[in-house]
Every structure is written in structure tokens, then in C-alpha cells.
A and B are shown apart, each in its own frame.
Chain A
Amino acid sequence: MVRILIHMRAAMIAHQRSSRFGIVSLVALSLFGLVSALGTLLLGFAHYPTPAAAADVVGLVMAVWIIARVAYAAFSGGSVLRLELFRLQPIPRAKLGRALLIVGLLDPALLFMAAAFAALVALGAQQGVGAVVTGAVGALLSVLLTSILVSIVEAAMPAASRRRQDAGTMIVAVVISLVAIAGTLLPSLVAALTGETIPALSIVVRILPSGWAADAVAGATAGNLLLAALPLVGLIALTVVAARIWPAVLSRRLDGTLGSSRRIRSHGARRPLLPQTPTGGVTAKELRLWVRDPLRLTFLMIAAIVGLGVCVVPGISHGTSLLLPFAGVLTAVIAGAGGCNLYGSDGLPMRLTVMTPESERADVRGRQCALALLIGPYALCLTVALTLISGQAWAWPWVLGLLPAVVGGAVGLLPIASLVAVLPLDEKGGPAPAWPVKVYAALILTLVGACPTAAVLVAGGVIQSTAVQWLAVPMGAATGVVLAVALGRIATKRLTTHQFDILAQLTEASSPV
């Protein structure tokens, strides 16, 4: 049965449609994974003041790998093999569970993780054969445990249950955001662990199961058999427990007992706040979708958490409030980039726009207005509040100049980016693999839009003229308005000329002919 499932999975992956952009992005992401794995592996060759510090550093990076993989499992909306397929198959659940776990081991991400976790072997090699063996066993157990956790999480996130998936996606959004913030902290944390300056952090890393394999290598290095064996026994026990939980989760999924309850929304006769015009209608629709669509809300949450976190963290780690005033700017940039694929993620409802004559302009402007309303006031309030808290008066022209430039840039970029290299959702309703690449491109382009304003600010700084720096504020406002209007106009033209091609692409992705 394992062989059949492997063939089936391979066939499904082979038949997944992918554009040229998607293939290039997949290659780019694979390279990123490879570089990250090699980077982690190199940590095993570095020299540390103590074996414990070495174990802590590797343990911390392993935690990031494991959390990221498990979070992705939840975010991606389930496994390639749709579990519902096996509901009516007369296969004993235990046998099916075992087969699926074996198939799960063929995850390419686990290959990267295995290469990364080989850092433990490298670490052990600096000490002796015992530590090498301990590192190898620890690395393999960590990969195995991750694989089982991925299967459990995928089964616990039923694709058929929209509500549950929505809720799960929200949780994952928070986890991903926290991981991203942890990523910015990683160099500081590695330095702190290497220098053993934050004992509490070392304790946390060692307590987490992701750090147990590294703990074992540290124990083996110290020649302490008990400290080498105990973490490995712990990992084995956890793996066994996870493997025992798996059939129960699988059964609940297959029996449909992970279903969701229906929720009825009341509709009060509220007075409409927005104009009852085509653009007003699209704006109101978009505002609701930004709040109700888990993918969109995920990006908003990531923008809020990362935008704030990245600017607040240096205050915690280095005691500087230098970045604090820029939280609003960063939030606006990330939120805007999150909306770089709206036509792709909205999918076939685009037919309604296509069938409505002369609706292109209203569709584009409405989407722009909704984003401006969502991020503009929030980012402005955040900027004003945090600049006041930081007490950095010099930052006022910077943030008040850059904010309208990036908000306008994001609002301008939103529709045009969504109409270029459209990426339909994958078969599970999740984002296509190439999506992150598009988001990063949008991030960069939004920042490029703020370059003229930044140039004025830098020029003012160089000649030490506050007056020149304050010129950045009207400059930023003008740039923002021009970008929003001009890019919106280009997007309207593109929507008018390319809507049938985009719709054909979305239709093909939804139901291939």
C-alpha cells in the first residue's frame, strides 16, 4: 500500500499546474532552503567557548526549523494526499496510519532539515565517536518526530471545514509572525547563547524538545552517559507518543468528527457608511473580505505583529528605540505586499466583475480605497504614538514623509501587482508556492516608491537642514497620491485588456478542461 500511496502522491505533485514564474519561484525557494540548511550545518563546525553554548545555538536554530515546518503544515491546508479519499476504503486505520507516516517521510523539506540537523554530527565530530553517534541519532529522531507532527497537524486541519481552517490559519499566522520576529532576533540570540549572557534563554532552548538532541551531544561531549542518553530517550518517548496519537487524529478526521458548527450571521438594517456607488460597493465588499478571508487576515496580522515586533525588539535586545517610530511605515509596507495577489486569491468570483460592464475602474479603485482605509489610519496612529513614546523628535519628518509615500505606493501597487503574474490558489485552497516570492517583490517595490522621499530626507541630513527634511512630508504625500492614482489607472487598463486571460487562467486552475 505504501508503494501505491507514494505513486499516487508523486502523480498528484507531477500534475500540479505551475506557471513559469511558479517554477522559477520554486527553484528560488529550494535554493533558499538549501542555503539555510548549509548555514545551519556550518554552525556545527564553528568554535564555541563551551560545549553547552554550542548545543544551545544549534538547539535554537533547530527549533526555528521544526516550528516553521509544522506551521507550514497547518498553513498549507493539508497534505497532498486528500485524506477524505480514504474514508470509504476498507483499510484498517492502523495500517493506513502507518502507511501515511511512511509516505510523510518522503517530504522534501525533511531532506533539508536532515542536512541542517547534521550540524549535530559536525558538532560531535569535534569531540569523538560517541558524540558523533549521539548527534546522528538525535538528528534522525528530531526529523522523525517532526514528520509525525506534520502528519498530525495536517490531519487536524481538515480542508473541508472552512471555519476550522480559518481559525487554524489565524493561529498559524500568529506563529509565523512570531517565528519571523524570532528570525530578526536570531543573530542577537545566537550571540547571547554563545556568550552565555542570557541563562534563561539557554534553559528554554534546552527544555524544548527541539533542543534535546543538542543536549544529548553536549552530554556525550562531557562524557556523561546519562546526560547523553536521557534526552535521546525523551525524544524516542515523544516520538512514540506522537505515533500513538496519530491514528486517533486520523480516525477523527476520516470519521468526520472534526467537523465545524455552522454560524449564522445576523443582518441588521444598518445605514451604509460608504457611498452607494460602484466604487463604494467594491470598497465595502473588500473591507469585509479583508476581515473574513483568512489569507488576507493572515497578512494583516503578520503585518501588525512583524511591523511592531521588528521595531520594538531592538529596544528589548539592544536598549535602543531607534526603530520605534518606523513601526507604522513597516506595517503599511508589509500589509500592502500581502495584497499583491488579490485576483489570484479571490479566484473565480472574478467572473462577476467580467460579466458586469464597465466595472473595471470601480473594481480597482474600490480595492485601493479598502486598503487605504485599512492601513492608513492604523499606521498613522501607530506612527504618532510610537514616535511620541520614543522621544525622538528628529524622526518626525522621516516618518511623516515616508508614511504617505509607502501607503500610497502600497495602495497603487495592490491592484497592478495583483494583475501581473496572477497566482491562483492551489488545489487545497492555500497559497501557491511562488506566493512568497511575489510578496518579497512587492515589499521591495513599495520601498522603491518611497525612494524620492528618502532622498530628500537624506539630503536634508547631509546638509543638516531640518527645513529640507520637512520638505519630505509634502514630497511623500505627493509621491503617494501620484503612485496610487497612476498605478491604479494602469491597473484599470490592464484589468480591461487582460481580464479574459486572467479568468481563463483561474478557470483552468479551478477545473482543468
Chain B
Amino acid sequence: MTDTTDPAALALHGLRKAFGDKTAVDGIDLTIGRGSFFGLVGPNGAGKTTALSMAVGLLRPDGGTASVLGYDVWRHPVEAKSRLGVLPDGESLPQRLTGIELLTYMGLLRGLSGGLVRSRIDELLTVLGLRDAGGRLVADYSTGMRKKIALAVALLHGPDVLVLDEPFEAVDPVSASTIRSILHGFTGTGGTVVFSSHVMALVEQLCDHVAILDKGRIVSVGRLDDVRGGGTLDDAFAELVGSGHEGSLLSWFAS
């Protein structure tokens, strides 16, 4: 039922998902240890979002299992989700609530007391630089501000494992630096961060472990230094996934 012998923060076994005749995720096995800062990289359409959605219990897989700290997300969703913090994308936020209202209701729904919710919101908004925007509707937020309020939603209840899909997308450099220090602080206290990104430099800078996903399969996984070998992650990525069409010229450029 549950793995009690020092279970992994996140463990995926044979995870599969197909949409019609298109296989999005094709049997992923992944074990992410506690305290890791884990990066999941891959080209567009590689299956990163689908894999993470199944890992956190948002999308039912066709096969395989996913567990958080030993709790299967489908058989023991309450235990698993209590320990998870997931970054919702911009579309998943109710547009007609203010940032403060959104955090208040999510905190109360998690069973936190009113006083605790208020104090955490205060701290989160201050740290994320959203204090002045807390009273504005989410609909009026920029993309970067939505990322930050979504991160606040993920952090509010004090999770053990954070799963973040593209957390730095459209975030300004100052806010990105703030988020990085928050996430480092989180892993420093034993928390685990799993995040997907297209930006290799960011993954190299933040992560100690990395997996490269291509066409729904893990093509490489391990410690950052092992995956990139002697070169950069960019080089390893290009070698494993294949390069694009650098140097190509469109036929009508010359005309």
C-alpha cells in the first residue's frame, strides 16, 4: 500500500498516457529523492506537462503508478496531495478573485485556520512582491504576476514536494531571483522541487538532478554532472534529442 522505507519524494513507474492514437507519455520510470532540486527538460510536445499532470494526480494515466513520499496519488490521494504543492497554470486560477481572496479561500479549503492563512498570505505577498497587487483581480495580473500568485497557492499549505511546470516563464529577472531563493530555501529545509523548463541554463544553475524527456520517454536521467558529461546541458540535450535545423535558410530569403 505505502512504501515506508524512506520513500522517494516522487516515484513514477511505467507511467503511460495516450490521447487517441498519439502516445504522449510512453512508460516513464523516475525516482526523485527527498531534498532534490530536480529538472525535467525536453522539447515542445515531449510530454513534460502530461507526465507532471499524471504525477500529481491531475490526469489519470492509462498505465503505471505515481507516488508522493510513498503514497500512491490515485489510491491514497488525500495523503499524497496533502504533501504536494503544485503550481497551477494561469488558466487554472479563478480570474475574478483578487490575489488575497484566492489565497484565503485556498488556505481555508486546505483546512488552515483563518489566522494562519492571513499571516501566511501577508508573508507570501511581501516576499513575492505582490503586496500592492493583492487587492487586484487575477484577471488584471500580468503573466509574471500570475506565475507568482500561483506559486503562492502552491506554497501556502506548507507542502513537502513542489511540482512546478515552467515556473519561470514570463517572470522578470528580479522576481525570478526571488523565486530561486525561495525554492533554494525550500530544498534547504528538506523539501523537494521538481520543475520543468525549456531554459537549460536555468536548469544547470538550479538543479542537482535532471531528466531529459523526448517523445514521451526518458532518454537520460541522473545527477546533473552525469547527464551533461563534460559539456553543457545544451550539448547533451542536442545530442540526445537531436538538433534543430541550425544554419538552415528559407528558400525565399535569397530572392
What B residues does A347 contact at CB under 8 A?
Answer: 91
Instruction: Name the distance in Å between A82's Cβ and chain B's nearest Cβ.
Output: 18
Contact of B135 among A262, A267, A292, A511 (CB under 8 A): A267
Cβ of B114 and Cβ of A278 under 8 Å apart? no
Closest to A276 in B: B114
Does A16 touch B at the CB level, under 8 Å?
Answer: no
Cβ of A278 and Cβ of B109 under 8 Å apart? yes
Q: A276-B113, A504-B59 are in contact. Are A355 and B108 (CB under 8 A)?
A: no
Does A346 touch B at the CB level, under 8 Å?
Answer: yes
Cβ of A358 and Cβ of B93 under 8 Å apart? no
Q: A265-B135, A285-B105, A362-B109 are in contact. Are A355 and B95 (CB under 8 A)?
A: no
Does B19 touch A at the CB level, under 8 Å?
Answer: yes
Cβ of B92 and Cβ of A351 under 8 Å apart? yes
Whole-angstrom distance between the alpha carbons of A277 and B106 in the complex?
A: 11
Output the residue of B50, B57, B108 with the most chain A CB within 10 A. B108
Cβ of A513 and Cβ of B140 under 8 Å apart? no
Q: A292-B96, A355-B58 are in contact. Are A281 and B91 (CB under 8 A)?
A: no
Whole-angstrom distance between the alpha carbons of A511 and B100 in the complex?
A: 28
Instruction: Name the distance in Å between A498's Cβ and chain B's nearest Cβ.
Output: 11
Does A357 touch B at the CB level, under 8 Å?
Answer: yes
Whole-angstrom distance between the alpha carbons of A277 and B114 in the complex?
A: 8
Interface residues of A in 27-62 (CB under 8 A from B): none
Whole-angstrom distance between the alpha carbons of A69 and B50 in the complex?
A: 41
Whole-angstrom distance between the alpha carbons of A261 and B88 in the complex?
A: 27
What A residues does B79 contact at CB under 8 A?
Answer: 357
Contact of B105 among A284, A351, A354, A510 (CB under 8 A): A284
Does B151 touch A at the CB level, under 8 Å?
Answer: no
Interface residues of B in 114-139 (CB under 8 A from A): 114, 117, 134-137, 139
Q: A267-B98, A285-B101 are in contact. Are A357 and B137 (CB under 8 A)?
A: no
Q: A277-B108, A362-B109, A500-B60 are in contact. Are A356 and B81 (CB under 8 A)?
A: yes
Cβ of B56 and Cβ of A272 under 8 Å apart? no
Does A359 touch B at the CB level, under 8 Å?
Answer: yes
Whole-angstrom distance between the alpha carbons of A292 and B88 in the complex?
A: 22
Closest to A507 in B: B59
What A residues does B94 contact at CB under 8 A?
Answer: 285, 289, 346, 349, 352
Instruction: Name the distance in Å between A381's Cβ and chain B's nearest Cβ.
Output: 27
Instruction: Name the distance in Å between B169's Cβ and chain A's nearest Cβ.
Output: 15
What B residues does A346 contact at CB under 8 A?
Answer: 94
Cβ of B60 and Cβ of A264 under 8 Å apart? no
Interface residues of A in 457-513 (CB under 8 A from B): 500, 503-504, 507, 510-511, 513
Cβ of B56 and Cβ of A264 under 8 Å apart? no
Does B247 touch A at the CB level, under 8 Å?
Answer: no
What A residues does B245 contact at CB under 8 A?
Answer: none
Contact of B56 among A162, A289, A355, A362 (CB under 8 A): A355
Cβ of B136 and Cβ of A265 under 8 Å apart? yes
Q: A265-B137, A354-B58, A355-B86 are in contact. Are A282 and B96 (CB under 8 A)?
A: no
What B residues does A280 contact at CB under 8 A?
Answer: 108
Cβ of A349 and Cβ of B78 under 8 Å apart? no
Does A89 touch B at the CB level, under 8 Å?
Answer: no
Interface residues of A in 267-296 (CB under 8 A from B): 267, 272, 276-278, 280-282, 284-285, 288-289, 292-293
Whole-angstrom distance between the alpha carbons of A510 and B80 in the complex?
A: 27
Contact of B101 among A288, A348, A354, A511 (CB under 8 A): A288
Does A20 touch B at the CB level, under 8 Å?
Answer: no
Cβ of A276 and Cβ of B108 under 8 Å apart? yes
Does A266 touch B at the CB level, under 8 Å?
Answer: yes
Whole-angstrom distance between the alpha carbons of A357 and B24 in the complex?
A: 27
Whole-angstrom distance between the alpha carbons of A292 and B136 in the complex?
A: 13
Instruction: Name the distance in Å between B98's Cβ and chain A's nearest Cβ.
Output: 6
Cβ of B88 and Cβ of A352 under 8 Å apart? yes
What B residues does A513 contact at CB under 8 A?
Answer: 19, 22, 24, 50
What B residues does A362 contact at CB under 8 A?
Answer: 109
Whole-angstrom distance between the alpha carbons of A356 and B106 in the complex?
A: 8
Whole-angstrom distance between the alpha carbons of A49 and B98 in the complex?
A: 62
Closest to B163 in A: A355
Does B65 touch A at the CB level, under 8 Å?
Answer: no
Cβ of A352 and Cβ of B153 under 8 Å apart? yes
Interface residues of A in 245-267 (CB under 8 A from B): 262-267
Does B84 touch A at the CB level, under 8 Å?
Answer: yes
Cβ of A356 and Cβ of B110 under 8 Å apart? yes
Q: A355-B56, A355-B58, A355-B81 are in contact. Are A348 and B92 (CB under 8 A)?
A: yes
What A residues does B77 contact at CB under 8 A?
Answer: 357
Instruction: Name the distance in Å between B237's Cβ and chain A's nearest Cβ.
Output: 23
Output the residue of B60, B107, B109, B117 with the most chain A CB within 10 A. B109
What A residues does B134 contact at CB under 8 A?
Answer: 267
Closest to B45 in A: A513
Instruction: Name the distance in Å between A362's Cβ and chain B's nearest Cβ.
Output: 6
Cβ of B106 and Cβ of A352 under 8 Å apart? yes
What A residues does B84 contact at CB under 8 A?
Answer: 355
Instruction: Name the distance in Å between A357's Cβ and chain B's nearest Cβ.
Output: 4
Cβ of B95 and Cβ of A162 under 8 Å apart? yes
What A residues does B93 contact at CB under 8 A?
Answer: 349, 352
What B residues does A282 contact at CB under 8 A?
Answer: 105, 109
Cβ of B109 and Cβ of A359 under 8 Å apart? yes
Whole-angstrom distance between the alpha carbons of A503 and B59 in the complex?
A: 8
Instruction: Name the distance in Å between B160's Cβ and chain A's nearest Cβ.
Output: 13
What A residues does B135 contact at CB under 8 A?
Answer: 264-267
What A residues does B139 contact at CB under 8 A?
Answer: 162
Interface residues of B in 9-41 (CB under 8 A from A): 19, 22, 24
What A residues does B136 contact at CB under 8 A?
Answer: 264-265
What B residues does A265 contact at CB under 8 A?
Answer: 98, 135-137
What B residues does A263 contact at CB under 8 A?
Answer: 137, 140
Cβ of A278 and Cβ of B108 under 8 Å apart? yes
Whole-angstrom distance between the alpha carbons of A288 and B95 in the complex?
A: 11
Q: A162-B139, A266-B135, A356-B109 are in contact. Are A348 and B91 (CB under 8 A)?
A: yes
Cβ of B140 and Cβ of A262 under 8 Å apart? yes
Whole-angstrom distance between the alpha carbons of A293 and B93 in the complex?
A: 14
Does B231 touch A at the CB level, under 8 Å?
Answer: no
**6 closest residue pairs by CB, A with B:** A281-B108, A267-B135, A276-B114, A292-B96, A357-B78, A357-B81
Residues of A within 8 A of B (CB): 162, 262-267, 272, 276-278, 280-282, 284-285, 288-289, 292-293, 346-349, 351-359, 362-363, 500, 503-504, 507, 510-511, 513
A-B contact sample (18 more), CB < 8 A, given A276-B108, A351-B88, A500-B58:
A263-B137, A264-B136, A265-B137, A277-B108, A280-B108, A285-B94, A285-B105, A289-B97, A348-B92, A353-B109, A356-B106, A357-B78, A357-B80, A357-B82, A358-B78, A359-B110, A513-B24, A513-B50
Supply 8 A–B pairs (Cβ within 8 Å), ascending by A: A263-B137, A267-B100, A281-B109, A282-B105, A292-B97, A351-B92, A355-B81, A357-B82
Residues of B within 8 A of A (CB): 19, 22, 24, 50, 56-60, 77-82, 84, 86, 88-89, 91-98, 100-101, 104-111, 113-114, 117, 134-137, 139-140, 153
